[in-house]
Structure formats: structure tokens, C-alpha cells
Chain A
Amino acid sequence: MAILNEEQEMLRDMARDWATNESPVTAFRKYRADKPAEGFQPDVWQTMAQMGWTGIVIPEEHGGSDFGWMSAGLVIEELGKTLTASPIVASTVAASAIVLGGSDEQKAKWLPKLASGEVVGTLAVDEGAHHGGKTEASVSGGKLSGTKAFVHEAHGASLFVVSAADGLYLVEKGDGVSLSDRKLTDQRSHANVTFDGAAADKLANGGDDLLDKVLDRARILTAAEMLGMAQQVFDVTLDYLKQRVQFNQVLASFQALQHRMADLFADLAMMRSAVESGLEALDSGFGVPHAACVAKAEANRVLHIISREGIQLHGGIGMTDEYDVGFYLKRARVLEASWGSTTYLKNRFAALAGY
């Protein structure tokens, strides 16, 4: 655990209490059964906004708290532990695109609403099943056309941050924007979004690498959610091994299992260091592209192993829908493939390092 200041500790504890008591995995089950049209429970989102979580990286002058990325990551990690279905990662990243690349008018128009949770934003970047493919969406005369695939939180979002051949644009949901559901294993909100001459407002101030900067933020925050998930699967699995009895002994007493847990524990330590250093890099502004690769690549690697081992070490019960551990596996792979698979990130890391 990073060394936190008092404010961060309070925020983390608040998020932990709320997630544990108000938004445990049973809440995710209820969400799954209710299938809210927004892709999240509006009252839950309201509560999260009231606690200030929607404005953590938004400057105070625009209605946020400007607590920084480490703070945002702490909250998101806690929410990841209980699989809270909310657009907090998507909307935080969308807000950061405006903070980084927006004009004064764009900031004044959108940031207060994003901070208050009134508007949900999301990134619409990839056009296929893999991150990092071609961008064919284009803009002419202020109208954007193209289709973005597997957009996270598309159902509840009213503002899309869309990549086109010549940069990033803000597009409001409405005329010229249509959704078709892409239901994935995590049973969260995903859709292909088709823009057909939709009014688009360019984010013109962020420099040529604005998209990369925004994606780095998406990678690091996603990794924070994955960290929460990995930690939870590890903890639940350890508890299970300590109570399940076979051969007249608790499973935890078998050395073969002890050593596998020790391996996972060490991997989890590496994942935590990588994710926290990504958040730190965003706060310090130093070495972000590099840190984002390390954070997301480690998150991918470790959550992949832990989500598999979590099921294996539970035995048959791990295969049941009634038991929570499978949910983590199904969300894990969606996040693993988002904003950079492991091979994509290794490639990017090598390119950044000059080999």
C-alpha cells in the first residue's frame, strides 16, 4: 500500500465502508437481474456523486475536488473489489480528456456536470475487437461519422469523447448517434456506437498526443479497478482454503496450495506496486506513458492468473453462478482486452524504450 495522506486515507475508508455495506456483490446480482437501461442503477450513481467521487480529478474551479489520481484510484480499487456497476472509470477518463484538451468554454460547459454526476461521459475510441486498430471515423464540417465498437458505459453516457483521424471530439448523445448492444461476459454496459453526421466539437488544446494521454489515464484507472478485483479474489480464495476440509484437514494445510498462494501473493504485490506507481506518475506528471504500460500490463498478467486460480482453488463451487468468484473472471477478461492487451502493451513499452 502506498503511503497515503490523511485525506486519502479517509477517502479510501469511506469507499471501503460504502462498497462493503451498500454495494456488495449482491448489489451486482440485483443489477444483473434488474437490467437498468442506463447500464447502472441511477440512485447508486447519485450517491457516488454526492460523496464527491465523480469529481476527484476535476479542478475545483469547475466543481471538482482536485484530489488527484491516487485518490481516484483508491476509490476505484474499492469499488472493483465488490464489482460495483458504475461508469466511474469511464466518466473520470472522459472528464480528464476535457481537462487536458478542452477550451475554456468546453471546460465550463462540461466539467461541472461531469463533476456532479449529472452527465456521464465515456471514451469511444476503438473500432474493432482489439484496442489499437485503425481509426476510420472522420469529421467534416463539424459532423462526425463512423462506428466505435464495444464502447464502455455507452448506455448511460450522454457525452462521448470520440477519436477521429484528426483528433478527439466531444459528441453529445442525440441526433446522429445510435447504439447497438454488445453484451459481454461481464454483463455490464457495452455497445457499438454509430455516429452518422453527429455534431462534433473538437478538443483542440491537448497537443498531438492528447489521445495517448487520455488512453494512459484509461489504462491506469482500469488497472486500479483490476487491482481491487485481484485483491478480492485472492482474499476470498484464501478464506475458502482456510475453512474447506478434505482428507480431514483444511485445504490451507496442503503445501502444494500454500506455495501457489505464496506465488499469487508475490504477484499481487508486484501488481499493486505497478498500479500505484501509475497513479503516482499521473499525479507527478512524470514518466506517464511508461508507467501506464507497466501498470496495465502487470494488472493484465496478475488478474489473469488470479482469476483462473481463484476458480481452480475453489473446486466445483467455483464453477457455479451462485458463487461470486466467476463474476471476477468474466469482468477480468473484458478489462484485460480494453485499452491494451498484454501483447499490445509490451509492444508499446518496447517502442517507448527504443527497441
Chain B
Amino acid sequence: MATLAEPRADTDEAFREEVRDFLAKNFPPELKGKGNALASVEGPTQEDAQQKAWREAMGEKGWGVPTWPKEYGGGGLSKKQARILQEEMGKAGAYNPIGGMGVMMFGPTLLESGSEEQKREHIPAIAKGEIRWCQGYSEPNAGSDLANLQTFAEDKGDHYLVNGQKTWTSGGQWADKCFAIVRTDKSDKHNGISFMLIDMDSPGVEVRPIQMISGLSPFCETFFTDVKVPKENLVGKEGQGWTIGKRLLQHERTNISGAGGGGRAMGAAMSEVAKKYAEFDANGEIADKVLRDKVADFEIRWQAFLLTARRAVEESKAAGGVSEISSVLKKLGTKLGQERSELAIEIMGLQGLGWEGEGFSESELAGVRAWLFGKAFTIYGGSTEIQNNIIAKRVLGMLDHQ
């Protein structure tokens, strides 16, 4: 589709034109301002015909993952073109229908560490938004101390036999596949870990959803009982799982911080919330001056965070890829994200604490659930305390002298 138009993408204005054209033809105006149901791991896949058509159109172009290589179904765009695409989508009120853990963390990791066959098998399906991935990392006794994981993959010649339990598996009940770190050697804590891909519909996989404080149940316990995993589903070599798995966490952290562009929307600017809910005085200022001070205080730090995220992207481009700075962004972005929710509630008063029923708008109720869910930001992907450990150790070298 539209292959003839592609050479026009040589110049930026031509590319902008191409994007506008594409959006006019393919983005159904009825979906304007709607979110991306598939990008989140918090809900089941329920697409209507229009959403499906929009996803397929974007998937065909590879524009859901605009900078991924074209040969694997990505957009093959330059950063600059990707920005133009984002700008034009913003103007048109269009959302990116392709997302989830495949886009945010597994895809980038497989592109770096996967074999040619693995890339050809898995990347195009992620780029088209056809396959949902979940993350099999945490276990009941392996949280922050992730390398303590016990799920064991026994070598059976042409396949592994996997037994064990994962937990907090986000979207496990809706996922098609799972990227997991499992133990292939019980004698070596870190070098005994391998990274493998498990079909969620394999016999012996069982998921049990768990309800969260937000009332939703987007994560699960996942049990593996004699699950057969073909050898070709091993990513990298046996024993490299810890290295590959940690690299994936760097991608995850950048995303969770909200800095990578693929993170969850942080909602409207605090000043907009204030304009809607706070009282203003005759000077056009928030009447409660203490609250006004809090809003400005937050917004200034939020600006500084966004500038830091931008700087990190520029610097990592210069240095080649995501790095330890992802820990700084994760730590800052998640803390500010939580502060934002708390401040919004303070501005809204009890109107900002509705659980269900009459008298609350849809977005007010969603805000409450988002506030509660947001408490996970500083826990998953490596808690804030763990990010502090990483910064102290890897960036500041504070453990070198022990």
C-alpha cells in the first residue's frame, strides 16, 4: 500500500504531506481523541471494526513503530520523520493503535539480541499489533532480587521443559506470548538464567488474575507445569538471560518514566485541571494562594523533568542507545507522575475521589483508578529503591570501595 508514494518521503515537507494524506484517508474521525486500548496492558482486547481498520492501516505502514527497521515491518523513519508523524497525528487527534509490552520493551530488546529468524518471526507481528506479549520475570520470591528466580527450564534435547511460578504478570490473561527469564542452571545465580519465549496457549500454562487496589485485575499469577518450549525460542545463548533481561528493563524504565514517548499519557497539564476545578479570583489567579504555589511548584519541576527526558534522548543518541540514565528518568518520572495524581485530587476535592455511580464524569472516575494504579509506577520495572541502588552503584561508583 502506498509504495509509490514512498520516495516522496525524501524531503520533510513531502513527508508531512504524505502523513496528512494518509491520515485523511485512513483515520476514522469517529475515533478522534480516543485512547489506544491495545497499547495498555490494563484491559482486554476489544476492537470494533473501525479500530481494527485503523490498526491495520498503521500496521501496514509500520508507523506504529516508526523508527524500527523496515525489513521487519517497522516504519524505517528517521527520528525527524517520526516527530513529524507524531505532530500530524496530534493535530488530527489520532492515536497510535499499536503498543503494549511488545512495542515498549520486548521488540527493542529482540532487535538487539535476537537471531535473524526470531526477528523475522516476531517483530512484524508486533509492528502490526497482532500479537500481545507479557513479561514473565517476577516470582513469589524473586521481586527486587530478581536473579533469585526459581522457574526451571530443563534441557530435553530439542526442547525445554519449564516448571515454576511467575507472578504479577501484567496482562497475562490476555497475552498470546510471554518473554520470560528462567533458570537453566541451578548452580550459578546470575549466569544460570536464560531468556526464552513461551506460548501462552501451550499446555501446562495457567493464569489466575489478581485484583488490585484500583478494582481492576490487570495482572496474574502464572503457573508453568511441564510446559514444552522449543529450543529455537531461546534468545541469545543459555546463561545470557540476565544480561538480556536487564537490557530489556532499561527500555521498560524509559517507557514507564513517560520519557520515551511510548509511556502512558500523564493526563492534562496541572494548570488545566486547576482551571477546571479550582476557584479563581478577580485577577485571574487561583484564589487559594497556597494551592497556586503548589501547582506552579509542580509544573516547574515537571518542565525540568521533561527537559531532562529530552536531554537524555539527545545524549543517548550521541552515546548509542538507552543507558543507566533510564534509572534516573524512571525514578523522577514515576515520582512526579504520582505527585501529579495526588495534586489533581487535592484540586478536585471529594469530586476527585469517586469510585462509581452517579455524579462523576467518566474521566473523573478514570482519574481515580489511574491514581490508584499509579502507585505501581514506583514499584514495577524495578522499584525506586532499586533504581537508587543502580544509580549509586553503576553511575556514582559508590560500591567500588567496599
Interface residues of A (CB under 8 A from B): 1-3, 238, 241-243, 249-250, 252-253, 255, 257-259, 261-263, 265-266, 269-274, 276-277, 293-294, 297-298, 301, 343, 345-347, 349-351, 353-355
Contacts and interface: CB of A to CB of B under 8 A. Distances in A.
Given A242-B401, A252-B401, A253-B402, A355 B308 contact: no
A299 B112 CA distance: 38
B271 A355 contact: yes
27 contacts: A3-B318, A242-B398, A250-B402, A252-B392, A252-B398, A253-B398, A258-B398, A258-B399, A259-B385, A261-B391, A262-B388, A262-B391, A263-B388, A265-B328, A265-B391, A266-B331, A270-B301, A270-B305, A270-B308, A273-B308, A273-B310, A274-B304, A298-B301, A346-B296, A349-B296, A355-B274, A355-B295
B396 A238 contact: yes
Residue of A3, A257, A350 most packed against chain B (CB within 10 A): A350
Given A301-B301, A350-B286, 9 more contacts: A253-B399, A255-B392, A262-B388, A265-B391, A274-B307, A343-B293, A347-B296, A353-B271, A355-B275
Interface in B311-344: 311, 314-315, 318, 325, 328, 331-332
Interface residues of B, number: 44
A261 B396 contact: yes
Task: Enumerate the 7 nearest inter-chain pairs by beta-carbon distance, A residue then B residue, closest first.
Answer: A258-B392, A273-B307, A262-B388, A346-B296, A262-B391, A270-B304, A252-B398
Contacts of B387: 262
Contacts of B275: 355
A1 B315 contact: yes
Contacts of B304: 270-271, 273-274, 294, 298
Nearest to B293: A346
A28 to B, nearest CB: 27
A253 B400 CA distance: 9
Nearest to A348: B296
B299 A353 contact: yes
A249 B303 contact: no
Given A270-B301, A346-B297, A277 B307 contact: yes
Contacts of A258: 388-389, 392-393, 396, 398-399
Residue of B275, B280, B328 most packed against chain A (CB within 10 A): B328
Contact of B292 (A2, A259, A355): A355
A273 B309 CA distance: 9
Residue of A2, A266, A274 most packed against chain B (CB within 10 A): A266
Contacts of B385: 259
B284 interface: yes
Contacts of B301: 270, 298, 301
B379 interface: no
Contacts of B271: 353-355
A3 B389 contact: no
B311 A294 contact: no
B232 interface: no
A221 to B, nearest CB: 18
Contact of B396 (A2, A249, A265): A265
Residue of A2, A252, A270 most packed against chain B (CB within 10 A): A270
A234 B342 CA distance: 31
Contact of A253 (B303, B311, B401): B401
A293 B300 contact: yes
Nearest to B387: A262
Nearest to B294: A346
Contacts of A301: 301
Nearest to A260: B388
A349 B392 CA distance: 34
